[in-house]
Every structure is written in structure tokens, then in C-alpha cells.
Amino acid sequence: MLRLRDHIISLVAVFLALALGILIGTGFSEDMLVTQQRLLIDRLMLEFSDLRAEQHRLEAQIQEQKRDLNLWEQYREALYDMQVPGSLAGRKLALVCHAAELPETVLTLLADAGAEPVAVLRVAEKRAGGQAAAGLGRAVCSLLAAGEAEGQAQMLQELQQDGRLSPELLLPERADTMLLFLGEKERVDTVFVQELAAAAADCGLPLVGLENSGVKKSALETVKAAGMSTIDNAETVFGQFSLLAVLQGVPGNYGIKAGADAFLPVFREVP
């Protein structure tokens, strides 16, 4: 009997010890959980405070940039009105688009400057896996240099047969400058561009190579290598002023990409 009672007492003592351990452990766990939650809340509050401070800083920076943009727009309008109207009066331009679209802003600039487009030609992009368009560049240059309806009609008929050339405008007048708009390099027929630049140099027809700033792989190095002027951000106001300067007699390679020699040309007074 004594042994059974001792055994029962031992079991009761064990259970009491377990209960006390659970009670103490639970108390400690709750205290640790509360502490961790408080630390987490404090850290989140600190991060939130930092984010609010960063938000206020960025909002102030945005307001400052908006003010600068507004001032720049006023300056651009004043500069535009001073430099552009009538500055290209009497100039006859040929616009050739190869794997690219004409930026509306450039057309507006040319119209405001008084330039007269005598040709707008679209040359199809390089065909996948196809042969280079040998002879097309020189043919297009001859077409633009002909300046008379009969000769142009005959050449145009030959060039349109294979669908590589589509004219949107072609007046019976010789162009005095050619603007060549290019797209992504993989879509550009390098042979065509090389031939066109070489033919333009041979016949004394100035050529300016242009592309939009969004073009990732430029094909303008072919034009630059031929000694012609290039502009790689033609759709921007900066590219438009660069184009205006080039057409007024300030040659060079301008823009924001690796092939550019300067961001903007230095304007000079043209007699």
C-alpha cells in the first residue's frame, strides 16, 4: 500500500510539475510575442516615417521639375519663333523613309521653316533572308536628281515594279537636300544606304541621316562613314533644332547616342 501511495504521489508531482512548466512557458512565450510585435511595430513606424519623408522630397522635386519644364517650354517657344519661321524658305527637300516613319514634329518644323518637300519616298525594309537591294540606292538618287517629269516617270515605273519603292509625293523638281529617315538596324538594308550616300556625294546632293531616339540599334554609322550629317533624336525638340542648324549650314553628328559627336550644334548667323 505504501508503495502504491508513493507511486501515486510521484505521478501527481510529475503532473503538477508539467502543469507549472506549461504555465511558466506560456507566460514567457506571450511576453516574447508581445515584445516582438512591439519591435516590429516600431520598425514599421520608422520605415513609414522614412517613406513619408522620401515622398515629400520627391513631391518637391517633381514640382521643381514641372516649374523648370514650364520655363523651358516658354524658352523653346521664344527660340522657335525667333529661329524657325522662314529660315528654310526656298529649300527643296526630298524625304526618304527606310524602315521608319516620318515624325510629325519634323514635318511641322519644315513647314514652319518654309521648306518645300518635292519628294516623299518610302523604301521597303530589308527582306528577311533576301538579297541586298543592289543598285536601288543609286536609282533613288538619280530619281531625286532628275528634276523633270518625263525622266522621273520612267525611272519611277522601273523602281516600283518589285514593290521596294512607294512614292507619296514626287514633284518634277530637283531636290537640293535629301533627308533619310532610318529605323532599327536589323530592318535597314545597309547596301541601299551605302549606295544612296555615295550617289548623293557624287551628284552633289547633301544628305542628312535621321532616326528617332527610340531606335535601339542605330544604322546611322553608315551615313556618318560617308561624311554626311546625322541626327539620332529627330523627333525631339533638340533634334529638330539640330536639323535646322544642319540645313542652315552647320554640318555634324548630333544627338544622344554613341555615334553623336555633340548633343547640339552651335548656331551661327547665316548670311
Q: What is the pLDDT along the chain (271 residues), one digit of tens a residue?
A: 445 566 556 655 655 666 666 666 655 555 666 777 788 888 878 888 888 888 889 999 898 888 877 777 776 777 788 888 999 999 999 999 999 988 898 999 999 999 999 999 999 888 765 555 678 888 888 888 876 666 667 777 777 777 788 889 988 888 999 999 999 999 999 999 999 999 999 989 999 999 999 999 999 999 999 999 999 999 988 899 999 999 999 999 999 999 999 999 986 544 4
Q: pLDDT at position 78, please?
A: 76
In 3D space, the residue among 179, 167, 185, 180 whose CA is nearest the CA of residue 125 turns out to be 185
Q: Is this prediction's pTM over 0.85?
A: no
Domain 90-254 has CATH 3.30.70: no
Q: pLDDT at position 239, please?
A: 92
In 3D space, the residue among 81, 263, 97, 60 whose CA is nearest the CA of residue 179 turns out to be 97
Please give the single-letter amino acid code of residue 12.
V
> Which ranges in the chain belong to alpha helices (H)?
2-83, 104-113, 136-146, 149-160, 190-202, 220-225, 237-247
Q: pLDDT at position 131, please?
A: 54
Please give the single-letter amino acid code of residue 196.
L
Q: pLDDT at position 24, please?
A: 61
Q: pLDDT at position 155, please?
A: 72
